[in-house]
Structure 1
Amino acid sequence: MADSIQQQLQQLVLLSDSVGTGTAGAGSGAVSTVEEAMEQLGPLVHSVYRTNKQKMFQKQVDVFAQRKDAEIMKLCGNYHQEFVQSVAQLLKVRQNTSELQEKVVGLNAELQMSGKSLYEKKAELLGLRREHRNIQSAVDTVKGCLEVVRMAAAFDEQVSTKQYYSAIKTLSSLKEVYVPQIRKYAFGKILESSIPKMETKLQGAALSDMKDWLYGLKKTTRDVGRHLTNRMEKKQKMWAERDSSIKERYFVSSAVQFVLDEEFDHDDPVSVEMMPLYQCLHINEKLGRRAEFRRNFTEDRSDQLNLILATQVQFALASLKPFENMLHDIIGFFIVEHIILASAPDFRSKSDVDTLWDAGIAKLSDIIARNIQQIREDNGVAEVLQQILTTFTYVMEENAYDVRKLRELMMAVFGA
């Protein structure tokens, strides 16, 4: 009976193994499913309890279990060394993994530190670059300001040394190029506000030179008047000689006489230094003050003519020299006006000069009219004065001035 129970248990174990592996021997009558094993276990247990063989069954089960334990121990003993080696290797791998993890953690920490340091360096570099740009911008601005200061100093130097053309170019560069670049700075605003003062300084310097020129022109104009008067006296002598050699006397006008005398007139042309005037005109044009300058120049010339005609004269034979000098001054004065009219017609118009000429003749006529009685009382004075005025008339007519009022005056005073 025990052998039978043991065989049945053995068969159940084999059945259990075959179920685990999915196979069973066909000749042993083993089943291939758990349900079949349970079906065989049930009758076995039922048989044990029916025959009252529980102890025997338990004993056989224990024996069977001991045998299986022995088999398991044997199996484990066979694979224990490999298992131990595997465990050792696993522990070693685990240790290596831990070490690697520690190294990775350490490397990560180092990387974090390096990254932080790199970030700080990058931030520092960006800050330095900003500072460099700011410094470079400041340097460029300072250079620009220094150039402006240099040009402003050069302007003052040019004005003081009368280099007016260079000064106007420097001022133009300051206004159009440099001041717009530094206008946003306080220095630029101060300089920009100083531009009108610089313009006024330049204009004042050029105008001062022109005033000096006008003042010094008095002697020059008298020399010009004297030169033209002497030349006209020579022509008058030539006319007299020509008239005396002509048997049939025909009236020849002064205009025809001028044409006939052109081939004999070899004198150098009258030359008057006009540079201060043209220079002042150019500067005022560049500064946009041409109209103002023209108005002031007209007033100055009118005052200068009045000053000439205010000369104290006496109509005595021994005292006609001041009057003759006054006529020389008038000739020179209007020769200058003639030159200005020819060289700068858009500045000095013919109507301006004609107005001045008419005013001058009117005042000259008034001077003679006030002394008409004294002139007529002395034939010598009348004769010399007539000759002087005749020469004066010819000179002015030769330079394209209207002398009809002069001739009317001479007809009224001398009856000729």
Structure 2
Amino acid sequence: MADSIQQQLQQLVLLSDSVEAGPSGGGGGGGSGGPGESGGPGASTVEEAMEQLGPLIHSVYRTNKQKLFRQQVELFAQRKDAEIMKLCGNYHQEFVQSVAQLLKVRQNTSELQEKVVGLNAELQQSGKALYEKKAELLSLRREHRNIQRASEAVRAGLHVVHMVARFDEQVATKEYHGAIKTVGDLREATAGVRRHAFGRLLEASLPKMEAKLQAAALSDMKDWLFGLKKTTRDIGRGLAERMGRRQVQWRERDASVRERYFVSSAVQFVLDEEFDQDGPIAVDMMPLYQCLYINERLGRRAEFRRSFSEDRSDQLSLILAAPVQFAIGHLDALEGMLHDVIGFFAVEHTILSSAPDFCTKADVDALWDSGTAKLTDVIARNIQSIRADPDVSAALHALLTTFTYVMEENAYDVRKLRELMLAVFGT
């Protein structure tokens, strides 16, 4: 009976093994279902095992062999345990080796992790040093750029300072043309240093430098005008003496024609030109032209022209305001005044000829009319003294005649003077 139960249990186990081996075992058809699928070979085998297990249990309980059945089941289980132990013993060494390899791999992994962590720390340390070096390099580059900018600013500043020093030197040595050019160069150079306080200060001082240059040139011109007082008298005396020599030539050439005295001096000059050995009287006009040039460059031409005109008018007024006496032995003051007037208007004629855009003929004519009126007033106030003394009258007539000829030769209108002489002397 026990053998029968054992055999039946063995069959059940075999059936169970066939169920487990069915899906991966024989046939290998890719389209077959699993053991749990309806209609598959595994399902029919399980059903067969269950069908055989039922009668077996029924037979055991029917014959009261439960104890024997349990014993057989335990024996069957023990036998299977033994088989399992045997199977495990066969693969134990490989399992242990695998576990040992796994532990070794784990250890190697831990070591590798530690190395990675250490390498990461080293990389971070190296990166920190590189970052510090990079930051230091950027700082040095900024410093180098700042140094370059500072050097450029210093060079530009030195260039400007040298120009300022050259300007002061040029003003001191009266090189005004160079000084005005230096001011223009400074105006352009300040554009490069305007962002610095020094450049802004220099730019603000440019008008003062221009004013300094203008004042220096104007001062020279004032000195020239002051010195021109003596020069104009020499010029007037020279022109009067030249005209006196011509008058002598006229009288010697034709003493019988009295009216010769009143022939136009321009005609007489043409007639006597071949005998005239005197050259033109030169006047140094450089201070005036220089001052005019500077004021033109500075845009102050109109202001300078007005100031110069006022100075010349004042100077003529001073000449005609000089005290004179109409008595024999005291006509030198009058003669000197006439020489001053001749020299004054000879200079005006030179300015008009050389700088017509600065001094117009209308301005000179207006000044001449003013001078003629003042001279006429001086003679009119002393008409009684002049007519009372024939010697004074003759001397004054000679002086005015020479004066009239000289002024007519320089293209001035002498009709009022002729009328004055006619009214005073009757000739």
Q: TM-score, normalised by structure 2?
A: 0.86
Partners of 1:145 and 1:182 within 8 A in 2: yes
- 2:226 corresponds to 1:215: yes
CA distance in 1, matches of 2:368, 2:129: 93
CA distance in 2, matches of 1:87, 1:36: 42
1:61 aligned to 70, 73, 96, which one? 73
Structure 1 counterpart of 2:138, one-letter code: L
CA distance in 2, matches of 1:333, 1:283: 24
Match of 1:37 in 2: 49
3-state DSSP of counterpart to 2:296: helix
1:288 aligned to 283, 299, 302, which one? 299
CA deviation vs aligned residue, 1:155-182 (integer Å, no higher than 9, x gap): 222222222222222223333440x444
CA distance in 2, matches of 1:344, 1:294: 12
1:312 aligned to 307, 319, 323, which one? 323
Match of 1:395 in 2: 406
Match of 1:141 in 2: 153
Match of 2:385 in 1: 374
Which segments of 5 or more consecutive residues in structure 1 lack a partner in the other structure? none
- 2:272 corresponds to 1:261: yes
- 2:178 corresponds to 1:166: yes
Structure 2 counterpart of 1:288, one-letter code: G
Partners of 1:15 and 1:32 within 8 A in 2: no
Equivalent residue runs for 1:345-360 within 5 Å: 345-360=356-371
Match of 1:73 in 2: 85
CA distance in 2, matches of 1:256, 1:343: 25
Taking a change above 3 Å as real, the CA distance of residues 375 and 252 of structure 1, as seen in their structure-2 partners, is: closer
3-state DSSP of counterpart to 1:325: helix
CA distance in 1, matches of 2:180, 2:113: 82
Taking a change above 3 Å as real, the CA distance of residues 36 and 107 of structure 1, as seen in their structure-2 partners, is: farther
1:232 aligned to 232, 243, 246, which one? 243
3-state DSSP of counterpart to 2:266: helix
Match of 1:198 in 2: 209
Partners of 2:160 and 2:189 within 8 A in 1: no
Match of 1:8 in 2: 8
3-state DSSP of counterpart to 2:164: helix
Structure 2 counterpart of 1:59, one-letter code: Q
Structure 2 counterpart of 1:76, one-letter code: C
- 2:392 corresponds to 1:362: no
Residue 213 of structure 1, CA deviation? 0.6
Match of 1:110 in 2: 122
Structure 2 counterpart of 1:275, one-letter code: M
Residue 224 of structure 1, CA deviation? 1.7
1:154 aligned to 154, 166, 173, which one? 166
Residue 25 of structure 1, CA deviation? 9.0
CA distance in 1, matches of 2:13, 2:276: 162
Match of 1:86 in 2: 98
Structure 2 counterpart of 1:81, one-letter code: Q
Q: TM-score, normalised by structure 1?
A: 0.88
CA distance in 2, matches of 1:40, 1:101: 60
Match of 1:332 in 2: 343
Residue 273 of structure 1, CA deviation? 0.8
3-state DSSP of counterpart to 1:311: coil
Taking a change above 3 Å as real, the CA distance of residues 49 and 160 of structure 1, as seen in their structure-2 partners, is: same
CA distance in 2, matches of 1:25, 1:106: 56
Match of 1:47 in 2: 59
CA distance in 2, matches of 1:330, 1:177: 49
Residue 356 of structure 1, CA deviation? 1.2
CA distance in 1, matches of 2:26, 2:370: 158
Residue 328 of structure 1, CA deviation? 1.7
CA distance in 1, matches of 2:411, 2:397: 21
CA distance in 1, matches of 2:340, 2:103: 130
Match of 1:22 in 2: 22
Residue 183 of structure 1, CA deviation? 4.3
CA distance in 1, matches of 2:164, 2:261: 71
CA distance in 2, matches of 1:218, 1:252: 31
CA distance in 2, matches of 1:410, 1:382: 10
CA distance in 1, matches of 2:223, 2:110: 105
Taking a change above 3 Å as real, the CA distance of residues 73 and 245 of structure 1, as seen in their structure-2 partners, is: farther
Taking a change above 3 Å as real, the CA distance of residues 84 and 398 of structure 1, as seen in their structure-2 partners, is: same
